Structure 1
């Protein structure tokens, strides 16, 4: 039996070699027997599809590495904010968990700037053909400061435009004919003139939905270069495009549901299911609610187009698992991150989560028709820009400032004042 045999290489070969260099172990330590440390992983997937998906991943990991004890230490609430607060304190106090659920990209810059994340190109990314299987966007997000420090597990697409098929047909609108975000205004007008539904479901109770809508409009109306320049802080150089995109979202507002300021995104999405709204812009997690509805099938009852003007782009929101310095379990963490980057892990996790794999070589048969079409779009995408609203494109401090600017926008709908807030957000 050769060392390429899966069972042998994982169970026996790793035990025999100890891969001492990975953990910085000198000499012959652990050559004869590898005793793995307990793996502590923190995440915020404590309910619903997230809990099922992460359990499926850990079940697969346990099959591959039965000798590694796993301590899942989840932190629920706050859409991940509670976990981020816990992690920041632990990492800065040099007491990190083995790994944790983290948005990659600029979100990790505070840790790379403080030298709190390890370069894992050799120990992790050189395994499982990862560098070939991941496209440029996810790979760039995995190396925010130049070195690979984290492993993306899943992708949620941001630039989706969902719609209720019967409402849109009754309105006489062809979503595929819309070529740019500003075209959507006329389409929503038709919905409200010809049906009892509102043009677009939305929530403005918190600013993130409107921020991701605005960022998508900027990308669709003014292109990738302008969007990237904005995320790099070149706000004043792109004043006209940024103000124009804010104005378009302000124009959309006329077609929002009246209770937008007092409901959640899930309540807004219910309006699409009930035929009370024509369009809905949201990450592809919105489709999870449709899947759970009897008689509300894709593509006959609900469907989706890429947001007008963004057809060649796959705007990324992702979760990943980084490798911190002062790691309490370097050997076990290395195995875990290699597994997170594998076909097996990503085909277990993503169908249950309603996301797609960042690897382009994961078989599609476990995914439903909607996610299969998303996987196809991802493989064929010209570029994969990172989400601003979810912290992949801007660091946490800038995101906080942009969130303040967006709060100003949804309370006043004042384009000039919001633009000034965006300028200040990067200063």
Structure 2
């Protein structure tokens, strides 16, 4: 689609920190059926969506980049936890090619909350400064810059997943990043209770004191403020995958006897306190999201034969999401698992979609917020089918984006939908951006 610029001027993106040609409307946006008859019936996947009653964030389509840990930051020194040009290229390619939201990986609010020594952090201003050019680039591509904030809890001070500990003498099964050269902090791993994720292969955490909990809440406040100043339009709380917030929610990992343990109300207390702090810290025009694991996939189920909760599951998740909506979240992303090595998961295409569907169905009209689904959603027809059935409102993808950075554009072609592409790439998409022959003939008659 030729760009329309008066007097042959190659217009740049307004307010960008450097020149780059403008793509109007942004890449990934379905084009008008006035010019493109193929778009007479646009799939839900490429229809816009407004998120938030106050923020009113406009998604150009319903395909989101889920946060993906890359274990690619400095582990010590002044640039510890800082994103780099690698992350700009890694995330920028998704924004350039049409993702509605591009989310930075799980970013720790404290040094001891990193999953590995090479994870992203946001506990100081230098880290915020490193984020800014990445958020700027995402924004100038017409994608929404977002970040996921969290604390790894009992699964911190671990190694990057590709490191082979069998080569160490003597060979190790352990995932622990030991203190010293490996950059770990085994003496400062903390969790709601002093229970290891796996006694043989993971660090042994200490039980968090009330002072630790207060410091964690303050760290979330400070990191949220830094994310805002760096340019994030969405900040997401990571309450999934067996990390710190999920540790508090689940009876499997939370055996506390104070106000933060025991009953469901108590186990939800810290996550809800943090959500309220994040909402109070963010400007009203910015959006607060949350990701949860809807189930521990505990072999004995969510309740025992007395009806008491023994693991985290869908029944508690429904209650928690409703309380989180009261605390101010605008969207919830539904994942599962990660809190116990005993989990028994029935993996298959879209295996987590039923959790999103159940949570979405549990919300009243007044509570209704968009629900995102994730997990082995690998093609456009599958994603569109999930939306058409009302199982979710948006689709989050991670590994599929790694396999195919042009996922949004390729799913559009799969669904016979014309979306705009970056002006610099349009010559590669002439097949998609060509009117049907019958329509071309009609145009010539007139």
Question: TM-score over 0.5 for the alignment?
Answer: no
Bigger fraction of residues in helix: 1
How high is the TM-score relative to the length of structure 2?
0.25
